[in-house]
Homo-oligomer: A and B are copies of this chain.
Amino acid sequence: MKIAVVGETRPGERRVALVPGLVSRLADVVAEVAVESGAGAAAGFSDEDYRQAGATVAADALHGAGVVLSVQPIPEHRIGELAPGAITISFLPVAQELDLVRALRDGGHTALAMELVPRTSRAQAMDALSSQSFVAGYRAAVVAAEKLPRFLPLSMTASGTIRPATVLVLGAGVAGLQAIATSRRLGAVVRAYDVRAASAEEVRSLGAEFVELELPTLEGAGGYAREMTEERSRRQRELLAPHVADADVLITTAAVPGRTAPVLVTAEMVAAMRPGSVVVDLAAESGGNVEGAKPGEEVTVDGVLVWGGANVPSQVPGQASQLYSTNVVNLLLHLRSGDEIAPDFDDEIVAGCCVTHAGEVRHEPTRALLAAQVSSVD
């Protein structure tokens, strides 16, 4: 079997689905790894790097490939280039990509969506949402440190003492925890809040303070927070307001995949921060946790800099690619049966992330979305 690595074409996407260093890990299961010319360039990997790793580099890498790897979904206009029954592995945000899902289904292709890999310990090494959130969380803290016109650490010098900066992190998932860890490394006083009470221990283990609000917790399935009522949201904002006002840096990371991000911080709360403070909203692309945050932009609101993230993992492209590639390779090796790649569709991981297969949409919520679309067209 031949595996193809597709060059990314979406604006701002700098990652590549397979880094040269992992090509050899596929040697047992595939006859050829074919990479589109220039696919790794934006992530810092040359065609020559791929050749030295044992891959072939070609413009027609896709031709005859049984498995096609990419970070962003394969563009709809390229579906025709896929071999019959090819397996595509990529991120595939189904709600935004219904036309593409339909085309993959009608083409008889097997589409596996990395963000649908179950968040179980067994599948941890294939969890690309986590690995990319890890990158985004690091990046959020480094960007905040650079944008902040003051020191993060406590500094005691012959010329006096500088008090440490205060960083508030909202949402203590993978990205939040990495933002906490990085801010702590830099010596900031860090506080964090999450609707899931279980995260308190993790927050504290990183040397940060867990902000306790007098509110019921919202533990959800798969490690995600459940959505909350508007009344609870309002009350949460009220209780968070003084913590936000007191912070030099606010980093928000509360995103629920495929949904609009909850507004945790209003423009009024931002305005109550000290001038010169910095807000980093990692959820800006899905609507934003912070009112006024714009993806890919820096806006200044009442003297406070609000940085809206847009494809943040692509800002650390080489290593985000390395982690994503590891996830993809682990999934590929999970799909093997003897010397072949032959997914077992009854397997929990395969069943979880399979969107289309053999002319059908296998992912129940996607099927419902497609049906709703058809009936609304009627």
Interface string of A154-178 (1 = CB under 8 A from B): 0101111010000000000000000
17 more A-B residue pairs beyond the given contacts A151-B316, A160-B322, with a C-beta to C-beta distance below 8 A: A44-B149, A44-B275, A124-B158, A125-B158, A125-B159, A127-B159, A130-B159, A131-B157, A131-B159, A134-B155, A142-B142, A142-B145, A145-B145, A153-B182, A157-B323, A159-B323, A185-B186
- Assess whether A319 is interfacial by the CB under 8 Å rule: yes
Residues of A at the B interface (CB closer than 8 Å) are 44, 124-125, 127-128, 130-131, 134-135, 138, 142-143, 145-146, 149-151, 153, 155, 157-160, 162, 182, 185-187, 274-276, 315-319, 322-324, 326-327
CB distance from A136 to the nearest CB of B (A): 12
SS class, residues of chain A in contact with chain B = helix
The 9 A-B pairs with the shortest beta carbon distances in the complex, nearest first, are A146-B146, A131-B159, A160-B326, A124-B158, A159-B323, A159-B326, A142-B145, A125-B158, A44-B276
CB distance from A213 to the nearest CB of B (A): 30
CA distance A127 to B160 in the complex (A): 11
What copy number does this chain have within its complex?
2
Q: Which residue of B lies closest to A153 (CB)?
A: B185
CA distance A158 to B122 in the complex (A): 11
**Do A151 and B130 touch across chains, with their CB atoms under 8 A apart?**
no
